[in-house]
Amino acid sequence: MLKEDKSDAQAIQEVISALIISSILWDNSDANSVTNNLNLITNGEDDTTIKWSSSNKNVVENDGSVSRPQFDTPIILTATVSKGAISAIKTFSVVVLGTTDPDEFAVSQAKLSLTEKLVLNGNTEKNNILSDLKLFTNLTGHSGVSITWNSSNTTYVATNGSVTRDINEDKEITLTATLSKSGKSATKVFGLTVKKQVAPATMDNNGKVEVNDGENEILIDTSNANNLKEIEVPTTVDDDEEVVLNLGALIDNDKKITLGGNELTLTRATSTVTYSVEIPANTQIQGESDWNGLITLPTVKAVADVVSLVTTGIPEVSIEIGSANAKLTFDKAVKLTIPNQAGKSAGYALNNVFTTIPACTDAQIADPDANLVAEGDCYVTSGSDLVIWTKHFTQFISYTPTSATSGGTSSGAVRNLGLSGGGATTGGTEEIDEEVKESAGEIEVREEIAVSKVEEAGNEITGAVIGAGSRVGTYIGVIAIVFVIIVGVLQGGTYLRRKYRGMYF
């Protein structure tokens, strides 16, 4: 008799039932005295997947890595078991014991700082290793903590981070970091998938490469570099799916790449807009000493992830190009266009530090190559879009300022190229409210005077400070205030005459 196939719901329920606290404790003896890493498996029976979430990632990371705090800390771990469109959750409670040993605590803090993002070195995911890793032997800010590495197969991942890809198949590798200080130690494990080699990208007669759904690597080498003009990520690929441009075959001993004689355009199409990056012909790209030649194509990132970084405003759009953790610089200015963000300010994030970008000067608009300093950038409004000129790649953010200043200018005003047709004045209104109230009679007289901001008219808005740099604005503001006072006095007098009839005023 043939065994009846399980439904997705049945498969999930069986995994939920089998997932018990003893299966995740690993080398820990008790759920209330956790001191070592936990075993948070991600693949269940019958093709189910398990995704974990920790209530405090500074103590227990989502992969089960434990960093002991100074005090005992309760943690809730949530496992989400999925198959197809169905999922179910199961929670576990553990207590991670604190430590008063300064060396043990130092090791734990270094372990927490040794993040997956740092180690991956531009590779997008642990299960998508395309090029060399960055294996630190110590970390800045963690004095005295040393790190050694062990690989389950040095043929594919060496202990110095060098990666060799197999021709025929992907390889599963376990990479273990041992962090030590004064006899105290802890381990952190990274489960990796080194992807098999891929063929160089093919392009059409116009030098265009279109990324296919499910394709996460575009390989450019000496066989196709001279013909390349455009790489397009179409709407069939999810907005936040990372696609890597692999230029590793072109990198020299100085970690530098010189692009071909064609301008290279990188585009990312979503259901509503298309982001574009235009790199001039013969541009030199300079990486840091451990750069592996990987560049992430424009990828839409969740705005919620950068809210805490942007303290000067409200983030609107976040686009990552290159890497948010590695610096890539250019000897020529690169143009990034963020659609429908005219009037916004701009900034960038690198290693979780946000930096505002100044508004472009006239000279920078006229010749960005010559007038942007090394690693510099500036922003300008072009029609309905925000354009960022930059000589480096990282994570770029458009935002609405919440303070009176933004973008490195005194007023936060945006320079407009006038490409949307017709130059005119812009501005808002300031409402001046005057109220005269009498609590007994419950009578309220309210005047709202809208005082228009006046900006210098013309085909180009120069970003002058209104009120400070414009005498016209100052005079109108004074006249408006005097007018408010006169109206208030007249209406107040009218009210008093009505109330106290027969009396002389």
Report the alpha-carbon angle 449-453-459, nearest 5. Answer: 150
Same-domain status, 270 and 353: yes
If asked whether residues 232 and 215 sit together in one domain, one would say yes
Same domain flag for 95 and 115: no
Give the CATH number, domain containing residue 136: 2.60.40
Q: Is 259 inside a domain boundary?
A: yes
- pLDDT on residue 325: 74
Residue 505 placed within a domain = no
DSSP 45: G
Instruction: Give the separation between CA 103 and CA 90, rounded to whole angstroms.
Output: 35
Q: Looking at residue 489, what is its pLDDT? A: 43
Do 224 and 137 share a structural domain? no
Asked if 191 contacts 151 with a C-beta cutoff of 8 angstroms, the reply is: no
Residue 415 lies in a domain: no
User: Are residues 478 and 351 both part of a single domain?
Assistant: no
What is the phi/psi pair of residue 75, to 5°? -135, 140
Our measurement of the distance from residue 328's CA atom to the centroid of its chain's CA atoms, rounded to an integer in Å, reads 16
Provide the phi-psi class of 407: left if phi over 0, else alpha when psi is between -120 and 50, else beta: left
pLDDT at 142: 98
How many angstroms separate the first and last alpha carbons of the chain?
108
**Is 34 contained in some domain?**
yes
Q: What is the pLDDT along the chain (505 residues), one digit of tens a residue?
A: 445 678 999 999 999 999 999 999 999 999 999 999 999 999 999 999 999 999 999 999 999 999 999 999 999 999 999 999 999 999 999 999 999 999 999 999 999 999 999 999 999 999 999 999 999 999 999 999 999 999 999 999 999 999 999 999 999 999 999 999 999 999 999 999 999 999 999 999 999 999 998 899 999 999 999 999 999 999 999 999 999 999 999 999 999 999 989 999 999 999 999 999 999 999 999 999 999 999 999 999 999 999 999 999 999 999 999 976 778 999 999 999 999 999 999 999 998 899 999 999 999 999 999 999 999 999 999 999 999 999 999 999 999 999 654 444 333 334 444 443 333 333 333 333 333 333 333 333 333 333 333 333 333 333 333 333 444 444 445 455 545 455 454 454 444 344 444 433 3
The answer to whether position 414 is within a domain reads no
Give the pLDDT of residue 327: 85
CA separation for the pair 243, 300 (Å, rounded): 11
pLDDT at 203: 95
At residue 437, the pLDDT reads 35
pLDDT at 430: 34
Q: Is residue 504 part of a domain?
A: no
- What is the span of the domain harbouring residue 186? 101-197
Query: Domain check: are 41 and 160 in the same one?
Result: no
Query: Token pair of 467, please?
Result: 């009120």
The last residue of one of the domains, among 176, 197, 218, is: 197
Picking from 146, 172, 197, the residue at the C-terminal end of a domain is 197
Of the candidates 231, 283, 276, 473, the residue with the CA atom closest to the CA atom of residue 392:
283
Predicted local distance difference test score (pLDDT) of residue 40? 96
Q: What are phi and psi of 36, to 5 degrees?
A: -120, 175
Instruction: Return the pLDDT at 224.
Output: 94
Q: Report the predicted TM-score, pTM, of the whole model to 2 decimal places.
A: 0.74
Alpha carbon distance 428, 447 (integer Å):
19
Check if the beta carbon of residue 364 is closer than 8 Å to that of residue 414.
no
**Domain closes at, from 150, 168, 197:** 197
Distance CA 455, CA 426 (A): 6
**DSSP letters for 447-504:** EEEEEE-----SSS---PPTTTS-HHHHHHHHHHHHHHHHHHHHHHHHHHHHHTTT--
pLDDT reported for residue 481:
54
In a domain, 422, yes or no: no
Query: Are 310 and 294 within one domain?
Result: yes
Check residue 465 and give its pLDDT: 33
- The predicted structure's pLDDT at residue 326: 77
Q: Are 95 and 106 in the same domain?
A: no
Q: Clarify whether residues 165 and 276 are in a common domain.
A: no
Is residue 409 a part of any domain in this protein?
Answer: no
* Residues 95 and 107 both lie in one domain: no
What pLDDT does 483 receive?
Answer: 54
Helix, coil or strand: residue 6: coil
Question: Helix, strand, or coil here: 32?
Answer: coil
Cβ distance 490 to 447 under 8 Å? no
**What is the b/e burial string over 360-399, where b = at least 16 CB atoms within 10 angstroms of the residue's CB?**
beeebbeebeebbeeebbbbbbbbebbbbbbbbbbbbbbb
- Given this model, what pLDDT does residue 477 score? 52
Total domains in the chain come to 4
Are 121 and 183 found together in one domain?
yes
For residues 23 and 59, membership in a common domain is answered with yes
Cβ atoms of residues 491 and 484 within 8 Å: no
